[in-house]
Amino acid sequence: MAKDLKKLRDQIDAIDNQILDLLNDRADVVLEVGKAKSGESREFYVPSREQAIYERLMGNNPGPFPNEAVRKVFREIISASLSLEQPMKVAFLGPQTTFTHVAAMRQFGLSAQLVPMKSIPSVFEEVERGRAHYGVVPVENSTEGVVNHTLDMFIGSELQVIAEVLLEISHDLLSRSGQLEQVSKVVSHPQALAQCRRWLEENLPDVPLVDVTSTAAAAQMAAEDGSAAAIASHAAASQFGIQVVKAKIEDNPNNFTRFLVIGKKAPEKSGHDKTSLMFSVKDEPGILYRMLEPFSNRQINLVKIESRPMKQKAWEYIFFLDLVGHVTDQPITDAIEELRGCCHFLKILGSYPLAPQNNEDGGN
């Protein structure tokens, strides 16, 4: 039996050596790709190409290695490969261990330099000034709705949406003791508290709830105060050395947050894209119907429409629209031009690959 086990382990070691050789062969080719891109002034990060790699590999995977593990492994391979071409700096709404941090890690891997920022405007500014290549910001939650600060920032920004990330949000109750009966207050970001309202009412009805700036800040408070429990990600428990009192306390098990990746240049067409627009329409009878008609007539799938009041004028609104397809698709091009005739202004925020609908590691 011991000889059989040694033989199997020797096989694993030999396979690992082959994988290592192939990784270095791949890295050599990546460096050649980087040289070719620099000669043509191309973007070194191409979300559509990355998504195509994942889809091809998972489609060709016979098992038993699980598909989601394939995605995770190759995300890190691609992340490390990109760092060979050019060190990539990504700003995100911090601090670390927030869900935006998890979304940034999912999109860019661990080899990217992920830089936490204190506000959504500061993420935009970091990218606009060229201090970061890309930024990651939350835009909407399936339970609590849109993140208005993010939508507002696009009004005055020239940045493009280059990708989206869908992250399943799972909240844990964390404390130093790990004991529910020792909790005398619960601290977290207001949105996290709202997403766990029913569980808190049923299990800690008389315990005060305290708003803080982020779930990571809540976890830090719980690490310093033995009477406090934090609602935060599972990753925060490891980061701050505290225990899980109760896992997955969110009221809605289908709780997702959508994040946008912002940058200066539009990505290449992937074939499975989404386009985001913002516009302000003229105040005329039937205008709401007329602004949707160009898309309805061409059977274009609208997946989201959101309005925000204009800060310059009372009772006038800016609309944000998401649709399936790429801005270069002729029906979409024609629909946008028809819509433009109804608008004070219209801005294309970007066409970018649709995020995969999977339930990978969720970690505000």
**pLDDT average, residue stretch 315-335:** 89
The mean pLDDT of the chain is 86
- Topology classification of domain 2-83: Chorismate Mutase Domain, subunit A (1.20.59)
Domain spans of the chain?
2-83, 85-169, 172-246, 273-353
pLDDT surpassing 70 at residue 39: no
pLDDT at 19 over 70: yes
Domains 2-83 and 85-169 agree in fold:
no
Domain 172-246 falls in which CATH fold? D-Maltodextrin-Binding Protein; domain 2 (3.40.190)
Distance between CA 50 and CA 355 in Å, rounded? Answer: 12
Angle at alpha carbon of residue 147, lines to 188 and 275, rounded to 5°? 140
79-132: pLDDT as tens digits: 888 777 777 899 999 788 888 998 998 888 888 889 999 899 999 999 999 999
The average pLDDT across 345-356 equals 89
Return the percentage of the chain with pLDDT > 90, whole number: 37
Residue 336 — very low, low, confident or very high, per pLDDT cuts 50/70/90?
Answer: very high
Q: Which fold has domain 85-169?
A: D-Maltodextrin-Binding Protein; domain 2 (3.40.190)
pLDDT score of 359 more than 80:
no
**The 3-state secondary structure of 184-235, one letter per residue:** CEEEECHHHHHHCHHHHHHHCCCCCEEECCCHHHHHHHHHHCCCEEEEECHH
Higher pLDDT, 242 or 149: 242
| Residue range 273-353, CATH number | 3.30.70.260
Does the pLDDT at position 199 exceed 50? yes
Q: What percent of the chain has pLDDT over 70?
A: 92
Give the catalytic positions in this structure: 257, 259
Q: What is the pLDDT of residues 212-239, one digit of tens each?
A: 988 888 999 999 988 899 999 888 888 8
User: Which long-range contacts link 137-140 to residues 24+ away (Cβ below 8 Å)?
Assistant: 137/92, 137/93, 137/100, 137/259, 137/260, 137/262, 138/93, 138/99, 138/100, 138/103, 138/257, 138/258, 138/259, 138/260, 138/364, 139/258, 139/259, 139/260, 140/257, 140/258, 140/304
